[in-house]
């Protein structure tokens, strides 16, 4: 990564019960997070992402393993002694204080010289572009403005790491997208590590330098947004990140070309199947990486359109293939009237580079 490590999580487990029949909230999790990295913990509810965040913050004690901040172990340090701050889902602003007073509060608790506090507050107001609202109370602010104040208050004491527990989830969709851009800008300008928790795949892909996908207390894959989307290493990761189709089939390795024979009988060329995968497999492909073509063309999967969904920028086609497997295909709307409808027979073209192989 080229940056010093800000957070090291080493073989961390968290159990809330000694009952061996109950799965741990965290199960032997290890990850290194770099300085000035926007790192996202992504997964469904109950996967352990918030528990991991809380162990880094010091709100939860680990059952096993070690957490290091800038190389120093922090397992035994209380939250207020760790150079870590947290922005929660509910912004928890003090309603009787102005924006500027909310930002100053943490600096006062930190014991910063009183004469230095106004300058630091002004710096934070400028960072989140809230100078003109410094005297307003939280009740007079929009949800997005409150989120910015919470962010400024957390950044004011200059933490080494900022933890964000789904801070955008209470915002409406349009404001949420606007705040994603702002959050990324603030992180780069502040120059510190952000560890962000979300269950929103698009949010993770938009914001992150790297993503850790979690399930059942484990990290299944860590990578850049491109790596997670284009080269998922687990079926769960492939299904959780974006839309994807799966076709059951059988991999036959040839001398020159590798073919995946799906049950409909037509071979699909796979340029570089992973080592160790053989026999029964799953062929995965994204809806936007395939094309509907004339059913009379050879060497394609054939089927019939069962549903057509217009979504503005694209049209989605649900097709039932001849092997009775349903797939979803996506075509961008570029002013072309293809006149495809329910009941039409079509063929599906799968370019080799669009296909992923996974164990069945």
Distance (Å, whole) CA 212 – CA 237: 10
Q: What is the pLDDT of residue 58?
A: 94
pLDDT confidence bin for 140, thresholds 50/70/90: very high
**For all residues of the chain together, what is the average pLDDT?**
87
Strand spans (E) along 74-223: 84-87, 161-165, 193-198, 210-215, 218-223
Distance (Å, whole) CA 208 – CA 41: 10
Beta bridge partners of 248: 282
Distance (Å, whole) CA 144 – CA 153: 14
Rounded mean pLDDT of 168-182?
83
Q: What is the pLDDT of residue 265?
A: 66
Closest of 209, 213, 185 to residue 33, by C-alpha: 209
Distance (Å, whole) CA 6 – CA 301: 49
The pairing of beta strand 356-359 with beta strand 279-285: antiparallel
pLDDT confidence bin for 271, thresholds 50/70/90: low
Rounded mean pLDDT of 22-48?
94
Distance (Å, whole) CA 171 – CA 314: 26
Highest mean pLDDT among 82-86, 215-219, 229-233: 215-219
Strand spans (E) along 25-176: 26-34, 38-42, 64-69, 72-73, 84-87, 161-165
Burial class (CB in 10 A: 0-12, 13-18, 19+), 241: buried
The tokens describing 331, both together, are 């075509």
Q: What is the pLDDT of residue 297?
A: 76
Q: Which residue has the tokens 């997208």?
A: 177
pLDDT confidence bin for 1, thresholds 50/70/90: very low
Farthest CA pair distance, the chain: 79
Q: What is the pLDDT of residue 264?
A: 67
- pLDDT tens digits, residue range 308-339? 998 888 899 999 988 889 999 998 887 666 67
- pLDDT tens digits, residue range 38-71? 999 999 999 999 999 999 999 999 999 999 999 9
Closest of 284, 268, 282, 281 to residue 328, by C-alpha: 284
pTM of the model: 0.88
Q: What is the pLDDT of residue 285?
A: 92
Q: What is the pLDDT of residue 275?
A: 64
- pLDDT tens digits, residue range 277-318? 667 888 899 999 888 888 887 767 888 999 999 888 889 999
Q: Which residue has the tokens 């009988």?
A: 265
């Amino acid at each position: 990564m080229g940056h010093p490590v800000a957070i090291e999580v080493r073989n961390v487990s968290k159990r809330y019960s000694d009952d061996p029949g109950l799965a741990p909230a965290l199960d032997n999790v290890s990850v290194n997070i770099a300085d000035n990295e926007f790192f996202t913990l992504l997964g469904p509810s109950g996967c352990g992402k918030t528990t991991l965040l809380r162990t880094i913050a010091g709100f939860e004690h680990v059952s096993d393993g070690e957490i290091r901040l800038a190389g120093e172990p922090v397992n035994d340090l209380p939250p207020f002694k760790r150079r870590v701050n947290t922005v929660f889902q509910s912004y928890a602003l003090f309603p009787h204080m102005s924006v500027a007073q909310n930002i100053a509060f943490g600096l006062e608790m930190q014991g910063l010289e009183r004469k230095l506090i106004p300058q630091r507050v002004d710096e934070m107001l400028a960072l989140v572009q809230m100078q003109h609202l410094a005297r307003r109370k939280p009740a007079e602010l929009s949800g997005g403005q409150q989120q910015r104040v919470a962010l400024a208050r957390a950044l004011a004491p200059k933490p080494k790491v900022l933890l964000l527990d789904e801070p955008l989830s209470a915002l409406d969709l349009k404001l949420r997208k606007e705040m994603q851009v702002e959050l990324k800008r603030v992180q780069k300008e502040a120059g510190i590590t952000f560890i962000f928790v979300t269950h929103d795949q698009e949010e993770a892909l938009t914001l992150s330098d790297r993503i850790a996908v979690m399930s059942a207390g484990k990290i299944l894959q860590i990578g850049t947004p491109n790596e997670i989307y284009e080269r998922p290493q687990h079926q769960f990761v492939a299904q959780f990140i974006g839309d994807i189709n799966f076709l059951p089939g059988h991999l036959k390795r040839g001398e020159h070309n590798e073919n995946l024979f799906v049950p409909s009988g037509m071979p699909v060329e796979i340029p570089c199947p992973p080592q160790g995968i053989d026999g029964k497999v799953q062929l995965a492909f994204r809806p936007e990486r395939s094309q509907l073509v004339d059913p009379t063309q050879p060497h394609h999967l054939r089927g019939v359109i069962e549903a057509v969904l217009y979504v503005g920028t694209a049209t989605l086609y649900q097709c039932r293939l001849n092997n009775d497997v349903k797939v979803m295909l996506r075509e961008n709307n570029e002013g072309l009237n293809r006149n495809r409808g329910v009941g039409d027979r079509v063929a599906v073209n799968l370019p080799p580079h669009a296909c992923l192989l996974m164990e069945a």
